[in-house]
Amino acid sequence: MHVSPAAAPSSVAAQSPSGTDTHCPYCALQCGMTLRPAADGAGRTGLEVTERPSFPVNRGALCGKGRTAAEVLAPHVRLTQPLVRSASSGELEPAGWDEALGLVAGALARTREEHGADAVGVFGGGGLTNEKAYALGKFARLVLGTSQIDYNGRFCMSSAAAAGTRAFGVDRGLPFPLADVARTDCLVLVGSNLAETMPPALRYVTELRENGGKLIVVDPRRTRTAEQADLHLAPRPGTDLALALGLLHLAVAEGRLDTEYIETRTSGWPEARSAAMAHWPELVERVTGVPVPELRRAAGLFCDAGHAMVLTARGPEQHSKGTDTVGAWINLCLATGRPGRPLSGYGALTGQGNGQGGREHGQKADQLPGYRRLDDPAARAHVAGVWGVDPASLPGPGRSAYELLDALGGDVRTLLLAGSNPVVSAPRAAHVEQRLRALDFLAVCDVVLSESARLADVVLPVTQWAEETGTTTSLEGRVLLRRKAADPPEGVRTDLEVLEALAARLGWEKGFPADPEEVFDELRRASAGGPADYSGISYDRIAQEDGVFWPCPEPPGGEGEGARPPHPGTRRLFLDRFATPDGLARFVPVMHRPAAEEPDEGYPLLLTTGRVLSQYQSGAQTRRVGALNSAAPGPFVELHPRLAEQLGAEDGDALTVVSRRGRAVAPARVTRGIRPDTVFMPFHWDGEGRANSLTSAALDPVSRMPEFKVCAVRVERAGPGAAAPGDAASPEA
């Protein structure tokens, strides 16, 4: 496949005639691709994306976002010089690096001196490489001394991570290779629309069905993925927990359990069984809207399959009970003997490009590198030893992502924001935008002038995926190497160079190298012995093996002549034991409870949110690509014909969706593929169609995940002069 080249960066780095093998900058599939120099017809040399069939995950297949990824490298769509807010005009104006870095370092130092270290916050992103995530966490805890660091991956995988750790002792999104999906006998896909969010992964589902396997899709919408299912269950949003418990009830009542597995490989079954038995089929039908015959068919397909898997995604996870919901699906898998057996088990589909690695190496509020807990004395001692500091000097756990954003302009007065766009992506977004505006100082590192960057006092332009080398960790736990294929435009620096320069200005001349391989080697040492052990992984090894699965400890004796053979990496977890002290998986008893916000007379409908095929996350990059914008030009409100008739609305009519937090206006899209009591909006846009102006910030008590996937709303025909979200007319408190 040949894809038209992007406008050129300032120069193209040296590379072989066959191009530079690398990985897509978007989702956690991290599809393999090759970048080659190409002329754009105007005499400029840029890069083109071509297929790389040898990479085993996508085998050459790329979605539209991947095929057009090089277009965001063009200078006219991205930042190429620092911007500083002028005291006279109030506008962002071009500046030199010395001035910009001096202003940021000065603000960080001044805030610490006047208000204490925790008055400085750091907010990272799930798209940052492992090296950047590691360095950002180290910078926050050593240079700034602050506990106030978290990242937008909290909004992605935190519920599944918490549930997985609670049950299995460790969280790796998929504890088996994605290719195993095609070989199982029954797949239950919960709250995932792979056809639009990870199109190259859909081939495994297609192969599953070609091999005679069955697909069950759980989603309140009849998505492109649900259309391929043998059975589509469409529960009322916010009731996935009851659905999973109802299926476990049926497994018990119908004698479909694996009792030997339960006795030999698990603990806590009696309590989990009692909780499930309180969710009989007729009750579950009343709660979820899924008919009892469909529940029985689903239980039969899953329990009777020789091999079976459950994969969850944001649908069941982005709730104030997301951890318990995922836990209920895990309980179903454990009771039927799935986890730790070939071609079976439970897995979570990580969303962001480095959502897995981003939560492993220290930019999460409660974690240190290697997926160590920040409140574990042994973990603190190990990492402090690598860093050469006293363990007592490391701050304790800080606030979770939304709680940190909510504290801006109050306890937290200065923020360093790297690789995230919370003005669009955070729940209760109008409120979060107000908190960003309330800061004494906001510094943003980004590749484009996002909606959040527009609010900054200083914007620092940083390199993109093709202009730097670094590692990411895919949804399989496969550590990969993104290789530099081009030099960035003059005036653009890497995030590691930015942190090195800021650290030096704040008194840390050493400890923050800009060379990514040097950072990775330190990360390896810091992760050694931890749950996510990377110590046996090197850049050379990744390049030779198409990635290495963690955990991969370094054998005793290290590398070199006479050393033991390298650890092979762990493609499949839990085959012999789980990562718990006794080696047993843990059932956790859970009970269904309502969403934090249920419909009432004033807000009689349910809103759920999600993604579309041609846009990605907050849209900061994809909305700058013409072909993607043509395919998905803006937000919409998806609603059932029955609701449309009640409103007197037709396709394309402007609708106003109102919640207790704000309102959004977007055109109607009428479809029978959604429940009559539910409306859907994609969340990729700012402005009057910003879906996250509506969403709830109710938090899961364990994962601190906000309840993105369900809130109470009303829908109205939008009249002339309809209020935009966040304005004075909005009902935001």
**How many C-beta atoms surround the C-beta of residue 687 within 10 A?**
16
CB distance 107 to 114 below 8 Å: no
Res. 11 pLDDT band, cuts 50 70 90: very low
Share of the chain above pLDDT 70, in %: 94
Per-residue pLDDT band at 17 (split at 50, 70, 90): low
C-alpha gyration radius of the chain: 25
Cβ(6)–Cβ(330) under 8 Å? no
Measuring CA to CA, how many Å separate 570 from each of 77, 393, 477, 581, 622?
A: 40, 34, 9, 19, 34
CA distance 728 to 602: 20
Domain 605-717 fold: Barwin-like endoglucanases (2.40.40)
DSSP string, 107-149: HHHHHHHHH-GGGEEEEE-TTS-HHHHHHHHHIIIIII--S-E
Q: How many CB atoms lie within 10 A of CB 15?
A: 18
pLDDT interval class at 217 (50, 70, 90): very high
Architecture of domain 90-152+354-462+496-510: 3-Layer(aba) Sandwich (3.40)
Tell me the average pLDDT of the chain.
93
Residue 85's H or E segment, with its range, is strand 83-85
| Residue from 477, 611, 635 nearest 194 by CA | 611
Range of weakest confidence among 2-11, 255-264, 657-666, 711-720: 2-11
- pLDDT, tens digit, 9 for 90 and up, residues 247-285: 999 999 999 999 999 999 999 999 999 999 999 999 999
Q: Domain 158-348 belongs to what topology?
A: Dimethylsulfoxide Reductase; domain 2 (3.40.228)
Distance CA 247, CA 732 (A): 39
Q: Which two tokens stand for residue 198?
A: 């990870």
> Average pLDDT of 556-579?
84
Structure tokens given for 283: 């009750």
pLDDT at 96: 98
Domain boundaries, the chain: 90-152+354-462+496-510, 158-348, 605-717
Establish whether domains 90-152+354-462+496-510 and 605-717 are of one fold.
no
Res 723 pLDDT > 60: no
> Does the pLDDT value for residue 729 go beyond 70?
no
Q: How far apart are CA 174 and CA 38, in angstroms?
A: 37
Convert the pLDDT of each residue in 112-134 to its tens digit: 999 999 999 999 999 999 999 99
